[in-house]
Amino acid sequence: MSQAAVDTAAAMLMEARGLLLRGWCHGAQARDERGHIVPALSEDASSWSLLGALLAASRDHDLELDEDFDARSAEALALGDAIAALGEATGTASLDEWSDARGRRLADVLAAIDHALGALPA
């Protein structure tokens, strides 16, 4: 993994952490202020699941369409690296299921992100 990919994956995880501190939800990747399900990338989203927050954070790292294919692929790889690090931290590839588990708390989700950040290569 290149240092640029590690840095981008770390930035995505940190941005996801910030979104979760604003609002965390169960049973959907994102919800609006009224609690209705919305897409994770929606401007109306005000709370997110673990995966939803990561997807929303990745939006800020999308490259312009005129950039070359390799650069856009690097962004996708960084998202994959962030998801893999979260999978390692949670012990599952099903991040939505893990986030929605009965008894799961926001503190658990934030700890998983912190663990994932620590698992990325330095």
Average pLDDT over residues 97-108: 96
Residue 82 identity (one-letter amino acid): A
Confidence of residue 63 (pLDDT cuts 50, 70, 90): very low
42: region left, alpha or beta (phi > 0 left; psi from -120 to 50 alpha): beta
In this model, does residue 72 exceed pLDDT 60?
no
Q: Which one is predicted more confidently, 62 or 113?
A: 113
**pTM of the predicted structure, to 2 decimals:** 0.86
User: C-alpha angle 114/22/100, rounded to 5°?
Assistant: 65
At residue 70, the pLDDT reads: 52
pLDDT tier at 75 (50, 70, 90 boundaries)?
confident
CA 59, CA 61: separation in Å to the nearest integer? 5
Confidence (pLDDT) at 122: 72
Write out the H or E segment, with its range, that includes residue 13.
helix 3-22
**Is pLDDT above 50 for 67?**
no
Q: Is the pLDDT of residue 68 over 60?
A: no
| pLDDT tens string 4-34 | 778 889 999 999 999 999 999 999 999 999 9
